[in-house]
A and B are shown apart, each in its own frame.
Chain A
Amino acid sequence: MTTEAADSTDAVGTVAPAADPGFLQRHGGTIEYVLIPGAALVGALAVFGVFVAMFGKNPLDLYFYMYYGAFGTWFSWQNTLTRAAPLILTALCTALPAQLGMVIIGGEGALLIGALSATSAALALQGMPPFVVQIAMVCAGVIGGGLWIMLSGSLRQYRGVNETISSLLLVYIALAILNHLVEGLMRDPASLNKPSTREIGAANMIGSIPGTDVHWGLVFGLIAAIASYILIYHTVFGFAARVAGGNIRAAKIVGLGVSKLILTVCFLAGGAAGLAGMVEVAAVQGRTNANLAAGYGFTGILVAFLARQNPLAIIPIAILLGGISASGGLLQRRLGLPDASVLVLQGIIFVFVLASDALYGRIGFLKGKS
C-alpha cells in the first residue's frame, strides 16, 4: 500500500498537468483513493513508531521486523496470506451492507455462527465422502452466518432497530451460544482443559493450495471478493442496491423492493463471514472452540473502511492487515512488545483513515479544473 502510494505520487510528478490537462480531471479521483488512505497509513505507522519509541524501542527495528514478519520471507508471506483469507471474507460482511448505507459491525458473530453450523454439518455427516461433507460445510457456514446478519437487517427494516448496535450485540450473543454448546451439548468429553467439539476428521479438512502452506480459504476469499465486486458494480441488483444506499426515498419512488434488497445483501454479507468461520474450522482448527473468536470479525471492519467499502480493494488491504497481524509474533519475540501492539496499531490506522476522509476533494493539485 505504501509503495502504491509512492507510485501514484510519481505518476502525478511525471505526467505534469500542463502536458496533459485532462489527466488529473480524469484520474484525480482514483489517485485520491490511493494517495489519501496511503498517506493515512504512513501517518499511522509514524505515530505508532513514536509510541513504541516512548517505551524505549527503536522504531526502525519495529518497521524492519514488521516488514520481515509480514512479507520478508516465503514463510511469512504464507502466514500473511493465511490470515488474509478470513479478513477478506469478514470485510465483505461490512462492505456489502455499506452499499446500502448500513453500518454492520457484527462480522465476528456471523463468523462464530458459521463455524458452529459448519462443524455441526460435518459432525452430522461423518462417514460420508469428504467432498460431500465439505460442500455441506460451506453451505451450512454460509447459511448460518447469512441468517445471523439477516436478523440485524430485518430488525432494521421491520422494527427500525439500529443495525450497528444490534449486530454488535449479536456478537456477544453468538459467543454465548458457542460457549454454551461447546461446553454442553456438543462437547467432546476428551477435551478437558479447552472445551471443544469433536474433530471434523482429517479427511474432511480442506487442505492447502498445492505447493504452499496457504489453505484454500484464500481462494474462497478471492472468489467472494471478485463476485461481490461484479454483483455491486456490474449487475442490475448491485445498481439497485447503490441507488437505495444513496437515496432510500428515490429507490422507493422508482419501485425498488428495498426490504428485499436489504435482506438479500445482509444475507450475502453474513454468508461471507460465515464462510470465514467455516474456513477457520475446516482449514485451521479442525473443530469449534473459543479460539475462533480471534478478532477477525473486528479487523474485517477496519479492512472494509480502509478499502472504502470497495470489494476489490479489500483484497490488497486484507493482505496488508494480515501481514501486520502475522508480524505480531515476531514483534513479541524480537522486540518484547506485548501481543496487543497489533491492536494498538490497527486502532491508530483506523483513526487516521477516518480522519483522512476530510481530505477528499481538498488536495489542490488533484482538483484539475472541476
Chain B
Amino acid sequence: MADGSIGLWTVPLAVLGGAIRVSTPFLFVSLGECITERAGRINLGLEGTLVMGAMSAYGISYLTGSPWLGVLAAGITGALLGALHAGICSLPRVNDVAVGIALMLFGTGLAFYLGKPLIEPTAPRLPAIDFGWWSDLPQVRAALRINVLFLIGVVLAPILYWAFRTTRWGLLIRTAGESSDAARAMGHSVLLIRLRATMVGGFLAGIGGSFLSLFYPGSWNEGLSSGQGITAVALVIFARWDPLLCLWASLAFGGAAALGPALQSVGVTSGYHLFNAAPYILTLAIMIITCSPKRTLTGAPAELSITR
C-alpha cells in the first residue's frame, strides 16, 4: 500500500476506501435498529446477531459454494434471533435492554460454538464491483472496489426514510413507537408490530454480519466483531432515528475505523490500538455533545425505554 509516489495522500484515500468498506456493517445494523427502535423497542442484542450472521453466512457459503445463499442465511438467522428477542420481550414485566444483553452473550457464544470448524476452511467471498477502473493508481482502485451490499444499503436508507413517512407500514411502526395506546385503539396489536419490526431489524443486522465474514475482513474468526453491533446501536441514537442520518453517521464511523490501519500503512505504528478505538471514542464524544439531561432527544420514539 505504501507507495512513495503519492506519499501521505495514501491516508485520506485509505480512509475514504475504509469509509465505504468498513461502514457497511454499521449501516445495516443501524438501519435495522432504526426500524426496531421506531417501533418502540431497543434491541441491544444486535452485537450477537452480527456475529451469528457472520458465522452462518460463512458456513453456508462454504457448504453451498454460493456467498449469496450465505447472505440470505445470515439474514434469516438474524430474523430468528430478532423473533426470540421480541418473543421474550412480549412477556409481561420483561426489560428489553436486559434481554438484549442476554442475546448479545448468547449470540456470540453460539456463534463461537458452531463456528469452531469454520476457522480453517476458506469460503467463497462476495464479489466486488471495480469502480476505480479509470485510475492507474492502485490505491484509488483499492479504495473504489465496492461491494454490492454497500450499494444496497445506500439505496435502502432513502427508501426507509420515505417508507417511514408515507407508507402504511411506516406509519404503523411509528404509531407503535410513539403511543402504543393509540395503536391499540386503532385495532392493531402492538406486540405483533414490534415482533415484525425486531425481526426485520435482526434480518438487516444479520446481513451486516455476512459482510464481515464474506467481504471485509473476509474470514471467520472469533475476533471478527469487536463492538461494531453496539456502536451501531449507539449510532442510531445520535442519528436521531433518521435512516438518512444513519447513512452519513455510518460513513463517518467507517472512516474513523479505517484511520488506524491507514496510518499503519504509511508507517505510523505508535498508537495503533488507540486509533482502532476511534469509532468508540467518536460515538461517546458525539453522544456527549448531542445528549442533554434537560430534554428528551428530538425525534426519539416516545415509547423507547432507553430515552425515558
Whether A and B are associated in the same complex: the answer reads yes
Judge if A341 is at the interface, Cβ distance under 8 Å. yes
Interface of A is mostly: helix
Interface of B is mostly: helix
Number of chain B residues close to chain A: CB under 8 A: 50
- Shortest C-beta distance, A44 to chain B (Å), equals 11
Judge if B148 is at the interface, Cβ distance under 8 Å. no
Complex-state Cα separation, A355 to B230, whole angstroms = 22
Contacts of A353 in B (CB 8 A): 102
Contacts of A298 in B (CB 8 A): 105
Chain B, residues 100-118, CB within 8 Å of chain A (1/0): the string is 0111011111101100100
Judge if A183 is at the interface, Cβ distance under 8 Å. yes
Contacts of A159 in B (CB 8 A): 287-288, 291-293
Cross-chain contact B293 with A340 (CB below 8 angstroms) = no
- Which one of A173, A341, A347, A358 has the greatest number of beta carbons of chain B within 10 Å? A347
Q: Count A-B pairs with CB separation below 8 Å.
A: 145
Closest residue of chain A to B295 (Cβ to Cβ) is A160
Judge if A302 is at the interface, Cβ distance under 8 Å. yes
- Shortest C-beta distance, B126 to chain A (Å), equals 26
A340-B94 contact, Cβ under 8 Å, with A168-B230, A173-B277: no
Complex-state Cα separation, A320 to B94, whole angstroms = 24
Judge if A78 is at the interface, Cβ distance under 8 Å. no
Q: Which of A149-188 contact B (CB under 8 A)?
A: 155, 157-162, 164-166, 168-173, 175-177, 179-180, 183-184
Cross-chain contact A160 with B237 (CB below 8 angstroms) = no
Cross-chain contact B273 with A180 (CB below 8 angstroms) = yes
A160-B113 contact, Cβ under 8 Å, with A172-B280, A305-B98, A346-B105: no
Cross-chain contact B273 with A160 (CB below 8 angstroms) = no
Cross-chain contact A338 with B116 (CB below 8 angstroms) = yes
Contacts of B292 in A (CB 8 A): 159-160
Judge if B189 is at the interface, Cβ distance under 8 Å. no
Of the A-B pairs whose beta carbons lie under 8 Å apart in the complex, a sample of 28, sorted by A's number, is A155-B288, A160-B292, A160-B294, A161-B284, A165-B237, A165-B287, A169-B227, A169-B280, A172-B277, A173-B280, A176-B277, A176-B280, A180-B271, A301-B105, A340-B109, A340-B112, A343-B108, A344-B106, A346-B106, A346-B109, A347-B107, A347-B110, A351-B103, A353-B102, A354-B94, A355-B94, A357-B91, A357-B95
Which residues of B line the A interface, CB within 8 A? 44, 48, 84, 88, 91-95, 97-99, 101-103, 105-110, 112-113, 116, 226-227, 230-231, 233-234, 237, 270-274, 276-277, 280-281, 283-284, 287-288, 291-294, 306-307
Closest 6 CB pairs of A and B: A347-B106, A343-B109, A176-B277, A340-B112, A350-B102, A358-B91
